[in-house]
Amino acid sequence: MADAVTEFGRQRDQVVTSEGQQSMNERLGSLTYELRNLLSTASLAYEAIKSGVCAGFSSTGARAKRT
C-alpha cells in the first residue's frame, strides 16, 4: 500500500511539473512574439528616419545618419 501511495505521488509530481513547463513555454512563446513585433516596428522606424523619409532634416534624422 505504501508503495502505491509513493508511486501515485511521484506520478502526480511529474504531471504537475510537465504542465508547469508547458505553461512556461507558452508564455515565453507569447513574449518572444511580442518582442519580435516591437523590434520590427522599431527597426522600420529607425530606417525611415535614417533614410530621410520622415524627419530627415531634424536633429533626430541627423543623429541616425551618423550611427
Half-sphere exposure of 23 (CA within 13 A, CB side): 6
For 2-54, the pLDDT digits (tens) are 777 787 787 787 777 878 888 888 888 999 999 999 999 999 988 888 877 66
Quick check: 61 pLDDT over 90?
A: no
* pTM of the entire predicted model: 0.54
Length of the chain: 67
Grid cell for residue 19:
504542465
| Total number of domains in the chain | 1
What distance in Å separates the CA atoms of residue 46 and residue 61, rounded to the nearest whole number? 9
Per-residue CA distances from 13 to 19, 54, 55 (Å): 10, 57, 58
Helices assigned H by DSSP within 1-67: 2-51, 59-66
Task: Give the range of the structural domain holding residue 13, as residue numbers without chain letter.
Answer: 2-66
Provide the residue type at 45 as one letter: A
